[in-house]
Structure formats: structure tokens, C-alpha cells
Amino acid sequence: MKPRIIDLDKAAYRIIQAGEKPDFIATYEDKAWIVDDHQNRIIKISPDSKTPLLTIPVPEACTIPVVGFNAVWVMSCTEKKLYRIDLLNGNILAKIATGIGDTNGEMSLAIGDGSVWLIADSSGVLLRIDPKTNSIQKKIAVLSHSYCLAFGHNSIWVTNYLANSVQRIDTKSNAVIATIPVGKKPRFLAAGEQGVWTLNQGDGTVSKIDPLSNKMVAAIATQVPGGGGDIAAGSGKVWVVSMNTERPVQKIDQSSNQIETIFLQKAPAGKPFKVDGAVRFSENYIWISGYHSRTIWVLKR
């Protein structure tokens, strides 16, 4: 099946200019929190407003944030602390000293089974944070150079970047129960749509893991090797954002494991269109950030 080519600007319901380097995204209802990468802030936006609803100072804000327990959680790369920020008014509720697995911030947080999860050290330390006390509840050993997390199928999943694998952690026992080979240098991942999906920076593929068998069941040739990018799953589709100027945004059908759509944009002469931001779902929208263009595209689901 040959992918359809669609203009991203034309597909967007709203196009919002926000931040200097808008990158990772967390959503709640139909609002989005955007990490302005290493710009000392996280921004709350709405598709109904041309200007940010809130701008919260966070020293060198980084990592993929998460929403839960009436707060948005995001890392400060310089302070190596986890910030807890009130969803409604933007007040900083807590700063938790955790350490950080990747000082460049190319990692993610997760929420699941009543806890907040993050990688605190590149040697392979997974922290379980108790939101009731804003304190470290458990330290779990995972493979070194693990960075990104997702919660799904009653488990935490973590990408092992140099080991070319994904580890599955049972949230009841806090134990690693499976180590699953995937594509080369898996970084970002998503849990949902009947699978766990990894964006593999080494070979540019997307791997699909069957959570029932703990095996990789598909390797999808998205052709996006190299750094950056993001992946999200929802509404029967998997979305991939990358630095590849010929495939900046791709939509995969989860039932066929085929690339369904490639989103492009007519860029100014001599300037290839780059996205290299992030992608996330909210209740009614798909949010895509353009790291190089200060742009947020909001598409209807």
C-alpha cells in the first residue's frame, strides 16, 4: 500500500505559534503542555487561544512530561529535579530531587498503578515516585542506557537504547519480567492500540511488541534513522515524528502495520521542512510540535 501524501498545514484544525523550541507534549482533556526545550519553561496551550494560557518557569525544562494526580510532571535538566505543577493554576507544588538518566532530556516519564516513574541514572536506575508524599518509593534495576518509559497492559515498559531491547516491569512486584529484542537503538515508545511500539533510532524502524507473548511481531520500515523524533498511539493509529525531511510525520495503521499517510508541508525555497518535535493525543485532537519552526499543529482525531 502506497502512503497518501497530505499537506500538514491543510490537515490542521489549528496552527499555533508558541515557544522558542517547542518539543515534548503532555495533554489533559483538550489542553496541551509543551516543553520549550531547554528554554526554562513549560507552556500550557489551548486550540481556542492564540496565546499561551500559562507559562511556568522550570530551569532547562526537558523530557516528555506526563499528566496525573491533578498535576503535570516535568524534569529540570540543570537541577536534576522532578517538578510537580498544578494543572489549573500552574503553581509549582513540589520539586523532587531524583537525578536524570539523560542530561540532554531525551527521555520520558510515565504514570501508572498509582505512581510516577522515571529513569534517574544512565547506569539503569528506575524510580517509582509516590505522589502522596512526593518521595521515592522504590528503586528498580534495569539495563544501562535506558531512557524512555510507557505504562500499559498493567506494566511499565522501558527502552534499552544500547541493548536493542525493551524491558517489561510488573508494577505489583516491581520486577523485570521480560526483556524483548527490538530494532536498533530503541528510544521513544508508546503503549496502546493492541501493542507496545518503539521508535528505533539506529535503523529507522518502528517495532511492534505483542504484550501477550512478549515478542516483537512486526518491524515497520518508517525510514527515520537518527536522533530526535517521537511516537504515540491512539484511535487505531500510530503516529511517528522524525527529522527526516521526506517523512517528517507518518501515520501507521495498527491492524495492518502499514504506513497509511505521510504529512508534508510546502517549505520556503531552499529550506527543507522539518518537524523533529513530538506527537500526542488528547480527547479530540492530535498535537504535533515543530521544534524548528515554533509551530504547534492541532489536528482533529
What confidence score (pLDDT) does residue 275 get? 81
What number of other Cβ atoms are within 10 A of residue 246's Cβ?
11
What confidence score (pLDDT) does residue 292 get? 87
What's the structural domain count of the chain? 1
Question: Where in the sequence is the domain holding 207, given as residue range(s)?
Answer: 4-300
What number of other Cβ atoms are within 10 A of residue 256's Cβ?
11
> Do residues 13 and 282 make contact, with C-beta atoms less than 8 angstroms apart?
no
Rounded Cα distance between 223 and 243, Å, is: 10
What confidence score (pLDDT) does residue 268 get? 58
Rounded Cα distance between 158 and 190, Å, is: 10
Query: At a CB cut-off of 8 Å and minimum separation 6, what does 160 contact?
Result: 142, 143, 145, 146, 166, 167, 179, 186
pLDDT along the chain (301 residues), means of 10: 92 95 96 95 96 97 97 97 97 98 95 98 98 98 98 97 98 97 98 95 98 98 95 96 94 96 76 84 97 94 94
Rounded Cα distance between 291 and 289, Å, is: 6
In three-state secondary structure terms, 77 is coil
Burial of 4 (0-12, 13-18, 19+ CB in 10 A): exposed
> Do residues 122 and 136 make contact, with C-beta atoms less than 8 angstroms apart?
no
Q: Where are the alpha helices (DSSP H) in the chain?
A: 8-11
What number of other Cβ atoms are within 10 A of residue 299's Cβ?
21
What confidence score (pLDDT) does residue 20 get? 93
What confidence score (pLDDT) does residue 112 get? 98
| DSSP letters spanning 24-70 | EEEEETTEEEEEETTTTEEEEE-TT-SS-SEEEE-TTEEEEEEEETT
Rounded Cα distance between 34 and 117, Å, is: 19
What confidence score (pLDDT) does residue 270 get? 59
What confidence score (pLDDT) does residue 271 get? 66
Q: Which CATH number do you get for residue 267?
A: 2.130.10.10
Rounded Cα distance between 80 and 248, Å, is: 31
